[in-house]
Amino acid sequence: MKIQLKYGTNPHQIPASITLPDPSPLQVLNGAPGYINLLDALGAWQLVRELREATGVAAAASFKHTSPAGAAIARPFTEAFAASQFLTDEELSPVANAYVHARGSDRLSSFGDAAAVSDTVDVSLARILAREVSDLIIAPGYEPEALALLKAKKGGGYLILQLDPAYQPPELEGRDLFGFRLEQRRNDARITASLFENVVSSRKSLPQEAVETLIVATIALKYTQSNSVCVAYDGQVIGMGAGQQSRVHCTRLACDKADKWLLQQHPKTLALKFKSGLGRPEKANVVDQYLLWEQLSDAEVTQMLSGLQERPEPISREEKAAWIARFEGICLSSDAFIPFRDNIDRASRSHVQYVAQPGHSLRDDDVTAAAEQYGMTMIHTGLRLFLH
């Protein structure tokens, strides 16, 4: 069974299509899919399905350009997180909770995302999606009222996909590139708690909460374009550094994003007074600029201030460091071995306490010594998770 797509990776790449098994486990319930839509949807679906299997908790992902901007399992909201995400007091179902956490991992990158959830989409989640800028949702099922709400989104053009959760793909997968056919065994490595048993640092502390967060981070890496490094906290991704040629650039990117996530909850950030009529995306942009104030040009500062009722006081470097140091249980996972200690040095400034990596680098001893210096727990998984 073949479905014609709007176009390929770019509008001039026509024709484009997808060939489905017969009978097809994938259904298009609304909208017209494009090539990138399906790449994002199928990658995101695998991620949330695996998170659900590994944790037993509702899971969600927010995908952009074939990598997760965020991923999470359902966890209780803290008051500061809820305020930082402009949430009201509405009661959310577990699946809606998971998606709010996932999208909140990196609000800027999640703008126009491909959303994926492990559980049936209910009205609680549909109402969240209805107010966000999102391109599609993929899920195992939909409540009738939720489906009706989503079909009205984007003038009736919102892409809604349903995938049979019982579907299992073939063991071999392939792709055509420049006229050549490549095949490999599908990456079916399982990410479970046993993967994190080889603690190589003298600090052996690894509470269950950290193990679960490392599971989330590592499964997210499995579906992220390499090289990649993920920082996670309390069951959710808070910083993803994806697709960089140098590992330290992945680490810097992931940690910079994590710092911004943590600082969104700083009292000075929560005290920002936005001008009336400002939408959620515009508020998110103002917060992002506010947290980077010292790096902005005069024109950018003027733009930031145009969205606020009054000029706020910046958060000083010392205040930022002190705030980040308040958070316990921050985890970092790497999709391949960490080659130099500079990654650990950068991670320490984001108060990372648990590091998981495959190990087997020529400089393992130096990297572990750096972790020892900062009081981190270092785990060698022995499992590389490249994705290309």
Q: Please, what's the largest Cα pairwise distance for the chain? A: 61
Which residue among 65, 151, 249, 268 is the active-site one?
Answer: 65
Pairing of strands 113-117, 134-139: parallel
Whole-angstrom Cα distance, residue 262 to residue 142? 33
Closest by CA position to 355, among listed 325, 380, 383: 380
Which residue among 30, 37, 64, 101 is the active-site one?
Answer: 64
Which residue among 227, 260, 285, 343 is the active-site one?
Answer: 227
300 three-class SS? helix
**Structural tokens at position 76:** 């209780």
Whole-angstrom Cα distance, residue 73 to residue 100? 10
Residues facing residue 63 across a β-bridge? 68, 114
| DSSP state string for 231-289 | EEETTEEEEEEES-SSHHHHHHHHHHHHHHHHHTTSHHHHT--BPTT--HHHHHHHHHH
Whether residue 388 lies in the annotated active site: yes
**Structural tokens at position 268:** 């000075």
Whole-angstrom Cα distance, residue 336 to residue 338? 7
Whole-angstrom Cα distance, residue 366 to residue 218? 23
**Structural tokens at position 154:** 């984007």
Question: Is the Cα dihedral 175, 223, 288, 348 positive or negative?
Answer: negative
Sequence-distant (6+) residues with CB within 8 A of 114 are 37, 40, 41, 44, 62, 63, 64, 134, 135, 136, 137, 138
Sequence-distant (6+) residues with CB within 8 A of 322 are none
Region of 121 on the Ramachandran plot (φ > 0 left; ψ -120 to 50 alpha; else beta): beta
Which residue among 2, 12, 204, 388 is the active-site one?
Answer: 388
Whether residue 268 lies in the annotated active site: no
**Structural tokens at position 159:** 């892409």
Whether residue 227 lies in the annotated active site: yes
Rounded to whole angstroms, what are the CA distances from 303 to 288, 296, 309?
12, 10, 13
118 three-class SS? coil
Within 10 A of 83 (CB to CB), how many other CB atoms are there?
A: 16
Whether residue 187 lies in the annotated active site: no
Q: Which residues are catalytic?
A: 64-65, 227, 388
